[in-house]
Structure 1
Amino acid sequence: MVQLKDVYPLYLNNKAAQPNADLEVTDKFTGEVAFRTALATPDVIDEAIAGAVRAAEPMARLASYEKRDVLTHCVTRFGERFDELAYALCVEAGKPIADAEGEVTRLIDTFRIAAEEATRNYGEVQPLDVSARAKGYMGMWKRVPIGPCSFISPFNFPLNLAAHKIAPAIAMGCPFVMKPASMTPLGAIIMGEVLAECDVLPEGAFSILPAARAGSDLFTTDERLKLLSFTGSPGVGWDLKGKAGKKKVVLELGGNAAVIVDKDADLDHALARIVFGGYYQSGQSCIHVQRVIIHADIYDSFRDMLAAKVKTLVSGDPKKRETFIGPMISAREASRLKGWIDSAVAGGATLLAGGACAGNMLEASLLEGVSRDSELYREEAFGPVVILSKFTEWKAAMDEVNDSKFGLQAGIFTRDIHQVLDSWDHLDVGGIVVNDVSSYRVDNMPYGGVKDSGLGREGVRFAMEDMSEIRNLVIRRL
């Protein structure tokens, strides 16, 4: 049986450090303190940034194979520690064990992809003799590391969303400081433990620093840092962008993703995928299915199928294999979403399933007739709730998808290639998934949003581009 330690360190300039054990992390199902970690003070954060600055040049000089070998080492060690990583997720995030195992698999995938990309940092030769004045000139460019990076990761995917920052940084040759979410720091700490086994990384190549929000401004404001990559809530993300100064900023923020189900869809397939996309890991995903827009010809039958299935989802202890709905991250968040559900019902919506809440356990909930003015429609639910509506014309369905301040991903279930292409042209989102849900992601694809959902793209190769600068070379032949 996996056992967690009582106390975990932070990682400062590649080394474990235990200045204190001030951060208590709870088991999200029992509410009991599961372990403690060190908490970084502003002085420690400053020391980590100084170390990253010193490490920038030696990191940039690492050979491609050396960076690949570091990432391959991580792949091997994460595989060896698979059960420990999954159990840690189950405890600190309240993630059902099957979802936790899936996230560890994606962690490994992300580092494996980065290991491959570490040897593919190509440039380009460019003809410059496009006019008479440039005859005899040629150009070429390459990508070079941007320098020290700051990463802030969220609570809901403590492994994979941290991996989407750490692995590309190593592949590109950028030192970094990371602040994992205080509610779920252990995944990143274990990654630090594994990276500390890699002697080829120069001192200061990485620091993993759990820290309170108060006193953490240096992660955002320090001018020595050349890039800030933040994943989390829109309110926090846009505020940090305003404080970031001259550094490049990448934001992966929230959403209230929509899925369209057309009358020609495979309804059994759509049903299974929407249940997954709407309720996996208790809906605490920025691309979780929040809105389902169903063709009027199939609306009643599909609604009834969906309601019946949602009522069968098992809630409870995330450590039990049969559990599908675990706890939300906190009782406060569950209460907030319960209030939105109740408000929607008071405004005329019909509750088709769920709706009950006890502590941080909110039942899988399904509603129809939700007002477009309600918080449950306009805002990001970030919990186990899905709302239904109907359409008759494809354009109206696309307009409803776009009727949101968010634009992360959308799913469409249709057999009509013309509607697929229309959607690709007109849906104002970062990605469209055909015959699957908005929640689907592969870790090498460009991933990110538009509007309030953020700036830039993750996905290993695309993150590496953000973590680099183009350096041009012009040669005149004499």
Structure 2
Amino acid sequence: MIKKQLFINGEWVEAKKHTPLLSPYTGEVIANVPDATMEEVEFAIEAAYQARNTMAEMPIHQRATILEKLANLLENRAEEAAILISKESAKPLKDAKGEIARTVQTYKFSAEEAKRINGETIPMDAAPGGEGRLAYTVNMPLGVIGAITPFNFPMNLVAHKVGPAIAAGNTVVLKPASQTPLSAYFLAELMQEAGLPPGGLNVITGSGSVVGGKLVTDNRVKKISFTGSPEVGIGIRNKANLKPVTLELGSNAAVIIDKDVNIEKIIPRCVTGAFSSQGQVCISLQRIYVHKDCYDTFVEKFVTATKNLKVGDPLNLQTDVSALIHRKEVDRALSWIEEAKQKGAKIAIGGTSEGSILHPTVLLEVEKSAKVSCQEVFAPIVLINKVESVEEAIDLVNDSRYGLQAGIYTENIHTAMYASKKLYVGGVLVNDIPTFRVDHMPYGGVKESGIGREGVKYAMKDMTELKLVIFNNN
């Protein structure tokens, strides 16, 4: 049995308490994981706080080299890392391999962006009284970054916080999701091997109220970067006072299918968007609004493609859909499907479970007030509704508490431009699903989908402070 330790100040520290970590797929115990006490969280924060000057004063080329080494180490151990993700999260192995490839890129982007931290000169004599003065800005690291991450991308979403933080000269206290701590401890091993100074990264596992609560309220922690549910994110913002926060929260992402689109071509992409990682993706395709002229064809082909998905063991490379993260999530999802049925929805396929696996489910004619439509379903469930026009579809997409990303498939450039203007979301994907992200693009949402942007360059901006320097040469 694997027994993990806390990673604090560059050392593996025996925890006072441990809890068993269960496989979402088999239910078997796969490790015993530290359940940190308040004293241990305090130790981690202090270690990061004491190391902040070391990281801030480290030459940029050294930070970049550490991140480059980290990327290379992870790439060399990609198979091992992917299996680890599959075991602790039940993510299908082929999806886990894709996540590792992206994680390597995220750390490479971080190494590159470390070398691009720069300020600007300010023409002081553009204003009367500014003559004879030289001014410039510099970007200063904030200090200790508190990173709180979810289970669904346990390597790459951690990288989106740790990579930019280290690149910008900060230290990190990382609290990974309780179900996926092994990936974070694996990162700590690699970061240690890459040469990060003690205290640069500290990994603490335990309850959100103990670890997360302390990170949010402790004055030594200068910023919180959180990915998770809107309810928890709103609570963090309310408790953080003036501490800056980046919140990547939920969504019920939608795509619009205009008439005259090549349906055959886009079906595989839409099915992937709806069901990859069991739909446990913030930008998972949850709502599809199809023009009436092609609705029947789209539904028929989408259902046929869904039937061909392979369900089963996440460690089987042929598996497309495996277990949800907890059995209770299956029960919740089934209750949401039943509620939609009570409101008139029809099940085209799925709607059943097998152990912790919810079979891919397609719902038709779903009332917009149903939970599977207006809340974040975070399960392999997608609705397909008929619309009279793109305008109607845009109104339906915008009629949501969320606004992370949305997509539209259309052959009309004017329709594409109109939609890109009218869709109230953080990102509009033209001729693609909303379930698209590469790791250097600005990523984030509006409304209850969050505050701030990730994507290495954009995250680094929020992990530094702007300082103005003025020389009076008069």
Same fold, judged at TM 0.5 (above): yes
Indicate yes or no: 2:213 matched with 1:215: no
1:44 — aligned with what?
A: 40
SS at match of 1:75: helix
Distance in 2 of aligned mates of 1:85 and 1:218: 29
What CA distance in whole angstroms lies between the structure 2 residues aligned with 1:208 and 1:57? 19
Deviation per residue, 1:409-462 (Å, 9 max, x gap): 011111222222222222111111121111100000000111000000000000
Alignment of 1:64 onto 2:60:
yes
> Could you tell me which amino acid in structure 2 is paired with residue 247 of structure 1?
K
Which consecutive aligned stretches of 4+ in structure 1 deviate over 6 angstroms post-superposition? none
For structure 1, the residue ranges without an aligned partner over 5 or more in a row are none
Equivalent residue for 1:281?
277
SS at match of 2:210: coil
In angstroms, what is the RMSD of aligned CA positions? Answer: 1.2
Q: Is the 8 A contact 2:365 2:386 kept in 1?
A: no
For 1:419-458, what aligned pairs fall within 5 Å after superposition?
Answer: 419-458=415-454
SS at match of 2:51: helix
How far apart, in 2, do the equivalents of 1:269 and 1:435 lie?
Answer: 11
Identity across matched positions, percent: 38
Task: Report the counterpart of residue 230 of structure 2 in structure 1.
Answer: 234
d(CA) in 1 for partners of 2:445 and 2:451?
Answer: 7
Deviation at 1:240, TM superposition (A): 1.3
SS at 1:129 equivalent = helix
- In structure 2, list runs of 5 or more residues that go unmatched: none
**Could you tell me which amino acid in structure 1 is paired with residue 133 of structure 2?**
Y
Query: What is the identity, as a one-letter code, of the residue corresponding to 2:229?
Result: S
Instruction: Give the partner amino acid of 1:378.
Output: C
Deviation for aligned residue 1:39: 2.4
Q: Post-superposition shift, 1:20? A: 4.4
**1-structure distance, mates of 2:181, 2:83:** 14
Between the aligned partners of 1:231 and 1:210, the Cα distance in structure 2 is: 16
CA distance in 2, matches of 1:44, 1:264: 60
**Comparing 21-30 with 348-357, which one deviates more in the overlay?**
21-30
Which piece of structure 1 moves more, 73-82 or 250-259? 73-82
The code of the aligned residue for 1:388 comes to I
1:99-148 CA-to-partner distances (Å, cap 9, x unmatched) read 01001111101001111111110111121222322222232112110111
Note the C-alpha offset of 1:263: 1.2
1:92 aligns with 2:75: no
Asked if 2 retains the 8 angstrom alpha-carbon contact of 1:237 and 1:251, the reply is yes
1:139 corresponds to? 135
SS of the residue corresponding to residue 197 of structure 1 reads helix
Decide which moves more: 229-238 or 265-274: 265-274
CA distance in 2, matches of 1:454, 1:107: 22
Render the CA deviation track for 1:62-107: whole Å, top value 9, x for unaligned: 1111001110111111012111100011100000010010011111
Q: In structure 1, what residue type is equivalent to 2:87?
A: V
Number of aligned positions between the proteins: 473
Partner of 2:466: 470
Q: Structure 2: which amino acid aligns with 1:186?
A: L
1:162 deviates by 0.5
Shift of 1:38: 2.1
| Distance in 2 of aligned mates of 1:425 and 1:134 | 41
Preserved CA contact (<8 Å) 1:362 1:384: yes
User: How many Å separate the matches in 2 of 1:221 and 1:32?
Assistant: 36
* Structure 2 counterpart SS, 1:133: coil
Partner of 1:123: 119
| Contact 1:21/1:36 (8 A) holds in 2 | no
1:205 corresponds to 2:200: yes
